[in-house]
Chain A
């Protein structure tokens, strides 16, 4: 059963006692009390996630609730609670959804150490994945959302979950928090983009959440083989060209960009080395989604459709402005 199969009232009732839903490999039990707006937002944006009525083993028990006393009436707030101490200060009540998303990211980042967790977006085509490791502000989320509407399956926006034993990437199709100008960019990019309400003045500026396509969520158990590592960076006036990166440099950048690389110690290094070993590594400065989508498609086609080419060659987008 999916969350969309419940009515809003049913969802509200289930959230009161603890709704169990699954994103990728993780089962969350979410309790929400006295946050009606959040319930309707979840009904819309979490529509495709599977939910379970029977008791299940859960990975994370989380709560979004309103604090007691006078804060119920004066500048109402909301709190995020989880096992452990996320240490999140209360948010304004109408920012409950971003709080839930950041709080659940905290749960994953601090517990899911069976994976090497790279700060990266991941998309896939026919089992072959592109990893986009990047720091905030690089355009990674916008790129990921656009590709997910352009023939690629979105695996993840925030966490590149790499299984050290298999070398495969585990999908984790959470909502994509688009920020500031990215929101308008995605709205203009495609009418198919499902984007939630606008949250102004969050700690990351203006945020709106992009809902992963249903297919990404339905196939969230299908892992993918990493083939390309591309370090993206949005830059006005960029030439939209893929430039090869030396593998040693790529490994170092990945190490500096992971949530738990040092914690995993030798397992982390070996997983990252194997990842780099099996991937072509590039850097991509871009300023146009329309220009780089065909570029990335041609990268895929050169590898898996056309005769193999020397991967040291520059891949230049001929159609870039």
Chain B
């Protein structure tokens, strides 16, 4: 599984690795996701969960994702751009999301 630099992220769309392989547990606190592809279990905070939920709806570029989240959280996009880019990188490393090749 490849990982991408922040600059490359802007040019590509991201999607969930395989929605069918993700199992969820949610008791109203943090969310736990199990990735059937890696058999790894991850504890997701709200920010990570929001990113995954958005990408579950449709693939997005990093830029689109930042705009959507800025809108959703009512925060300036410049403020969240860096943490979201970093989060995309981390989620990619964990195998939860992947670049969409068309």
Residues of A at the B interface (CB closer than 8 Å) are 246-249, 251-252, 255, 261-263, 265-266, 268-270, 273, 276-277
- Complex partner residue of A270 from B23, B40, B43, CB under 8 angstroms: B23
- Top 9 nearest A-B pairs (CB, nearest first) are A269-B34, A247-B27, A262-B39, A248-B30, A255-B41, A273-B25, A246-B29, A265-B39, A248-B32
Within 8 A of A (CB), among B16-40: 23, 25-27, 29-32, 34, 36, 39-40
Which one of B26, B30, B31, B32 has the highest number of Cβ atoms from chain A below 10 Å of its Cβ? B32
Smallest distance from the beta carbon of A33 to chain B beta carbons, Å?
A: 42
A270 to B43 CA separation, bound complex (whole angstroms)? 15
Interface of A is mostly: helix
Q: A265-B36, A269-B23, A270-B23 are in contact. Are A252 and B41 (CB under 8 A)?
A: yes
Please give the distance in Å from B20's CB to the nearest CB on chain A: 11
User: A252 and B36: CB pair below 8 A?
Assistant: no
Q: Which of A246, A251, A269 gathers most chain B CB within 10 Å?
A: A269
CB–CB A248/B25 < 8 A:
yes
The answer to whether A276 and B25 have CB atoms under 8 Å apart is yes
Contact partners of B23 in chain A: CB under 8 A: 266, 269-270, 273
Tell me the minimal C-beta distance from B91 to chain A in angstroms. Answer: 17
Least CB distance, A227 to chain B, in whole angstroms: 16
Verify B39–A246 contact, CB threshold 8 A. Answer: no
